[in-house]
Structure 1
Amino acid sequence: MSKVLVTYFSASGVTKSIAQKIADDNGYDIFEIVPQEIYTPEDLDWTNKESRSTIEMNDRTFRPPIAESTDVSEYDTVVIGFPVWWYTAPTIINTFIESVDLSGKTIKAFCTSGGSGIDKCVDDLANAYPELDFAKGLRLTGRESAEKIKEWISE
């Protein structure tokens, strides 16, 4: 039986609630990717060219510091959840990926989004980290059944 860790970054709480549901429904361990400096609503204003998130996302090399990382060595599958920012994963996801050793692990990304899909997010991450094994991702709304989630993670 494969051991699964659910990791996630959540700016507004949506991704957090879905990640917690995945972990709780399936008995998986969970880890929150917390920025060293929490994002304020002003930081997340995508219509403001001077907002923190806009500045970060316009510089794909930027790595927002995270409060702490975690040891993923005992897991076979690492699930990474995030909201879609500017049609891709927030750069804090890169900070997390670069802080752990994901070689030899299956990585399953899920996103929360009002409209954007997951495929471009996963393609961008797979292109940035060609040595890692990114499996098919999933866009989640929070209304998916525990069975659907478990099936996606184990496929």
Structure 2
Amino acid sequence: MTNVLIAYFSASGVTKNLAEKIANDNDYDIFEIVPEEIYTPEDLDWTNKQSRSTIEMNDKSFRPPISESCDVGEYETVVIGFPVWWYTAPTIINTFIESVDLTGKKIKIFCTSGGSGVDKCVNDLKATYPELNFTKGIRFTGNVSNAKEWIEQDL
């Protein structure tokens, strides 16, 4: 086991590909955050006000159930990756954070997005979980060659 866990949620495969590359290239452990009910393309239609993702994102208290959680006890750093939804982290990320004990962990956030940055995502998570140690995040658009340097800085 390494001191770094890459935990990620991916709805379309983009974040999954990057998370797997980061983990494989750097020998980090990896955990996929899987919803109990997988998102369909219709669920992800952000232009439809009745789509599942739109409804979830409009209710900040909603926590989509995840199929399983993991033990993060042995990790010093937990890297959480996800696609940006509505300029922030999908609510399933809150489900994951609330299902594990991240107290005392260094938490690094990476996002995938065609245009939205990571700063609002990190700031929203810091506001929701002020007791946790979120560090500066990063947005990946395909090239993850600097991932190890970013993850391991300040370790």
TM-score by length of 1: 0.97
| Partner of residue 41, structure 1 | 41
| Partner of residue 87, structure 1 | 87
Amino acid at match of 2:150: W
Q: Deviations over 1:23-69 (max 9, x none)?
A: 00000000000000000000000000000000000000000000000
Q: 1:154 aligns with which of 140, 149, 152?
A: 152
In the alignment, the residues of structure 2 paired with residue 121 and residue 56 of structure 1 have an alpha-carbon distance, to the nearest angstrom, of 16
**In structure 1, the residue corresponding to 2:54 is in which secondary structure?**
helix
Q: Deviations over 1:75-127 (max 9, x none)?
A: 00000000000000000000000000000000000000000000000000000
| Partner of residue 141, structure 1 | 141
In the alignment, the residues of structure 1 paired with residue 105 and residue 144 of structure 2 have an alpha-carbon distance, to the nearest angstrom, of 25
The percentage of aligned residue pairs carrying the same residue is 77
Unaligned runs of 5+ in 1: none
Which residues in structure 2 correspond to 1:109-124 (within 5 Å)? Answer: 109-124=109-124
In the alignment, the residues of structure 1 paired with residue 143 and residue 125 of structure 2 have an alpha-carbon distance, to the nearest angstrom, of 26
| Partner of residue 127, structure 1 | 127
| Partner of residue 3, structure 2 | 3
Q: Which runs of 4+ in 1 moved over 4 A?
A: none
In the alignment, the residues of structure 1 paired with residue 126 and residue 23 of structure 2 have an alpha-carbon distance, to the nearest angstrom, of 24
| Partner of residue 25, structure 1 | 25
| Partner of residue 68, structure 1 | 68
In the alignment, the residues of structure 1 paired with residue 58 and residue 114 of structure 2 have an alpha-carbon distance, to the nearest angstrom, of 21
Unaligned runs of 5+ in 2: none
**In structure 2, the residue corresponding to 1:89 is in which secondary structure?**
coil
